[in-house]
Structure 1
């Protein structure tokens, strides 16, 4: 068995488990371990392989390394390589530990009791599986971090004396997605967008600021419904806007999520409120047979209580140790992947973004960043981000269709919702926040300044009620600064030709210049 594995670890290939390599090379690290032990897990977003050329480059989801990076062709060699170079993929590690059992890990630790990678593997085995290896506590070796903060965002760290490591995982065994420290994310964090938002708002008069905040709140609520393909009445949009405006005031727990679902659904006659009792999926159905055509399969109902409990613990503990936007992405996108409710998951997913940002004081008091509006404008990119994980998750979930057109999940899948790579989600959310601060906030404040100036100048020409004045503005806005024939003969028939000309010039001076 060991000889066969060692041979498999050493094979150079051009085609690997359905994936083309940029050149002939030997898969290493997680790729080699997943293949050798036939682990049914979502592939990591980037795989590594070693070629015979002395050039390091990345292409088509592979990082091709040089011969000097080649690890020993053993289980221990590839695991140490993964921990050193690839960061932590907790879903892969848990399935790997379950596949190999305790003996290889224990033997490796006994052989290298002070090794940093052996002690990290030891801790991760016991943390992920909840099983104690037959080993005495470590007595020697400097304390090492479980998560390498140069590779992935991590928490503050708590000492584990047994393993002589500092557990800086940003979560619990029930919920711990991870985010890689990419150049894009580091650049965004360095911008200090929270301070930038306060700088932008510091230039806005208080009366304008109050109205800007109200407009952006409604904009986010309306956009969140539009993303779901819904056009609810104004009162529902305003009701959800009030809920978003209160984000961050209540901890996220099962009771709070149920409250939010009830508000989102409103009329629950045709929806069962609460955690799902059946399996679920996102996608379509064949017209003739109603056979499911899943694009994403949700967590199993029996796994939801523990997943929600893990999210609650993350919100109340680990989220406070991460960058606020990264923490918001982790919580919100994992929620929508788990899809704990029959309906309302999408809007609550976006609410959770506001919740974390407000709870951490990232956005100025009383102001909501309308990230849903950016998501709606960039809906294709938003969907691509959502599909980044779903596309890799779907092939490893075993399921069968039910007579009612649903899916029945046959394989254990809870770990795939506890642990996933949330890097593209964090990058996208940071992009949305950046857009709202650098574009939406100043543009809306500037619009209100111009609108006020428009109203003041119109009042110097003709007196009219505020509602009529606003209607006049809307007609001009809809017709590129000119009153339509209908408006001039009906709603504003009492305006003289010189007054119409003056009104149109005021609008063009302020909004079309």
Structure 2
């Protein structure tokens, strides 16, 4: 035991230039989570940012590293690096759970007994028992001020409930079954402070009821079509409209497994070749190798045996925790958590984006009856969207052991459930906020403005020449496709009855009305 402890302490003091393929800005001593992962050989996705102790007396950030000064050097022990992690790096529940599983209960008990009133040790005590679901051989705490488990200056949290045993407030935004966390970044803080929900109400307030109703109908259809397009699908119009109607009802029903299964049936349509419901086999996102057909995963889904617990955790998050978080933060946690878990054989991507609508509508973030075309915004940022998904998928993939099945699927061999329960959703929140902001500041007013201009164009044409609505629509489309001019073909065929003067009048009015207009597809 002494030899193993001494070996660990030596590893805590090593200077390194590279850690698990990540190059440090300078040769330094690992600190916090990186030191604990290294010392205990923890097989866990690395945090986005890692810490180390450099030689200079200046804290700086470079690439994926925070380099601290020699005066920040923690004690070369599990306690020293755990306290450093809590103090400077926030909570990484996946790393903490794997660490607690790697050490003996007696090691954690010793830390707590040595400093029973320390806020850090009481937080560690609670986290050990919460994550592992078992109590340490310790009496309840009798002294010490109540302290939050999540440092709300570092990460977003809820108000929480007290645990008298540890004299802490459990303000974790989820259950042991599902609890992703989000760091407080300058970007997210600015988005939250900008009060986009109020801005959306102001935009809607400037739009007439008639125009708003037509705008909402267009945006719903656009969002449905975009959601399929993201998946590389072009279904019949009736399926697009059916899914659009489902999106329009988002947030009206409580989320449970039956509701998700109902939505899956809507989004899939023809289920003859799809096994509906929770997967009973593995799953992955990616391609198959040419010739051999071996899987080439870009993302591997949660194991089927973990799905019931993960889904319960997600549903509990939506019911009991999401309401205490900022609406966009809650939507990102729920939606991206779902897509990483990938609980169904098909339909996961569209349901993932539906969950964004579900949370925003349920929380009243978007104005009543208005659905933000988030999928359309995502489609326009598709490369950035993929990078956000990969921000965790790529790190996760390295720690999943799998083998190909006879059906050329991916069968997971190791315990990976915690990797889907606990992940850093910060990049996902920043991305989703950017998409929501665009829909409020651009898409909504753009479409309303476009419809008003269309109405004016129609009125002017009708006042000048008697023409059916269907012909005016066709006329408009020809003009739009040809930069405001009727093509030679249109003038010789569909609109051969128009005189040269009438064509000139129509083209001039189109140019006047749609000059400086938003571009609308």
Q: Which residue of the other structure, out of 348, 372, 375, is the alignment partner of 1:372?
A: 375
- Alignment of 1:56 with 2:71, yes or no, is no
**Secondary structure of the corresponding residue to residue 20 of structure 1:** strand
Task: Pick from 399, 404, 410 the counterpart of residue 401 of structure 1.
Answer: 404
Q: Is 1:71 matched up with 2:74?
A: yes
Deviation at 1:6, TM superposition (A): 1.0
> Where do 1:89-488 residues align within 5 Å?
89-488=92-491
Cα distance between partner residues in 1 of 2:470 and 2:312: 49
> Counterpart in 1 of 2:508?
505
Does the alignment pair 1:80 with 2:78? Answer: no
Q: Structure 2 CA distance, aligned partners of 1:349 and 1:65?
A: 39
Tell me, in whole angstroms, the C-alpha distance in 1 between the residues paired with 2:34 and 2:158: 27
Partner of 2:519: none
Runs of 4+ in structure 1 displaced over 3 angstroms? none
Scaled by the length of structure 2, what TM-score is found?
A: 0.98
Give the SS at the match of 2:297. strand
Deviations 1:352-392 (A, max 9, x none): 00000000000000001101111101100000000000010
Q: In 2, distance between residues paired with 1:339 and 1:227? A: 16
What is the RMSD of the two structures over their aligned residues, measured on CA atoms?
A: 0.7
Deviations 1:246-287 (A, max 9, x none): 000111111011001000111000101000010011011111
Offset of 1:445 from its aligned partner?
1.0
Cα distance in structure 1, aligned partners of 2:466 and 2:124: 77
Any idea what SS the aligned residue of 1:396 has? coil
Aligned length: 513
User: 2: distance between equivalents of 1:20 and 1:11?
Assistant: 15
Deviations 1:197-248, CA, capped at 9 Å, x for gaps: 0011111111111111111111111100100111111111111010000000
Unaligned runs of 5+ in 1: none
Cα drift, residue 406 of structure 1: 0.9
Deviations 1:447-499 (A, max 9, x none): 11111111111111112121211111111111100111221122111111111
Report the 3-state secondary structure (helix = DSSP H, G, I; strand = E; otherwise coil) of the residue aligned with 2:398.
helix
TM-score relative to the length of structure 1: 0.99
Q: Distance in 2 between matches of 1:334 and 1:44?
A: 17
Distance in 1 (alpha carbons) for counterparts of 2:387 and 2:95: 23
Q: Aligned partners of 1:379 and 1:486: how far apart in 2?
A: 37
